[in-house]
Amino acid sequence: MSAWDPRFWRDRSVFVTGATGLQGSWLTKALHDAQAEVVVLVRDWVPGSELSRSGVVEQLRVVRGELCDQALVDRILGEYEVDTVLHLGAQTIVPIANRHPLSTFDSNIRGTWTLLEACRRSPTVRQIVVASSDKAYGDSEQLPYREDAPLRGRHPYDVSKSCADLLAQAYAATYQLPVAISRCGNLYGGGDLNWNRVIPGTIRSILRGTPPVIRSDGSMVRDYFYVEDGVSAYLLLAEHLARDSSLAGDAFNFSNEHPISVLELVEQIRALMGAQELKPVVLNQAMHEVPRQYLDASKATARLGWQPRYDLAEGLQRTIAWYRAFFQEQPHGVEVSG
């Protein structure tokens, strides 16, 4: 397995968007540990995020503002002489996108072109990784998705990721911008405070001794991709892009290639937490979501030498441990069972 190299990142000026999110928090921590000079753009303060909880945020260059602010993004890249951009900033919750499409389009599409345009004008930026998603592919009868499949999102979140993905490809093709694209499965791990997502929501319910709630009918099939494997994917892709300019405009799927239904996932969490008595409540209320999505990651294996380090059971165990510690630290706490 090819691992990312901390020596590549030492003293490198790196701009991370979405640093207070799930993947962004862990990615930023890893960069800080590698002694990179990390700059983050923060719109909303998220005190429970892993970035804040770990204390790493206090040791970073933090700029407050909006990703859609062109002048601000230009200033960040210029004043901090940014070398590498890791763009994870986005509105990532599907039900919110369905209820509030304009704010999702603003963050995910306009935010992406604002950043790419700033990178195009920057004399210092040498590599950019844009976070797309398996959702960019939309619904397809051909599974698993391969990178040459068309991008045809139909619902607001999916469309926003298809558009951001295509924007990155356009800037690479038209302006020779050194940008590559990651398409990951459903990311999970400690620090995800979006409780309507199945993994953190299920763990919190069990820790509180209440039945977990499933928004859908439980039959939806997804890849679940552990956040620390996501860190390796992003950093390894950026390193390869720095060495091989032919990767500009290229997209890579990242997945553990073991799709599972929501019901099976919840059952596995219940078993790991010793909570078989807490039967899930199935609401069957999910709308405008693709029933089956999962990825073929063979291209990343062949071209980058990438392999996931953690299988689903290991990733879930690490995630459960994070939430146990997190709730024990809270001033009001929760009753931790198991």
Active site residues: 157
Element (H, E) at 53: helix 50-53
- 242's CB contacts (< 8 A; 6+ apart) are 8, 84, 126, 127
Amino acid identity at 171: Y
Residue bearing tokens 């994870």: 88
Are 283 and 214 in contact by the 8 Å Cβ rule? The answer is yes
C-alpha–C-alpha distance, residues 286 and 272, integer Å: 26
- 155's CB contacts (< 8 A; 6+ apart) are 94, 97, 98, 288, 289
Residue bearing tokens 């356009």: 170
Are 128 and 177 in contact by the 8 Å Cβ rule? The answer is yes
> What is the per-residue DSSP string for 240-307?
HHHH-GGGTT-EEEE--S--EEHHHHHHHHHHHTT-TTSPPEE-----S--SB--B--HHHHHHH---
Q: Among residues 78, 93, 36, 80, which one has the least CA distance to residue 59? A: 36
Reduced to 3 states, what is the DSSP secondary structure of residue 20?
A: coil
Residue bearing tokens 């994070």: 322
Beta strands in the chain (DSSP E): 13-17, 37-42, 61-64, 84-87, 127-131, 179-184, 186-188, 213-214, 221-222, 224-226, 251-254, 260-261, 281-282
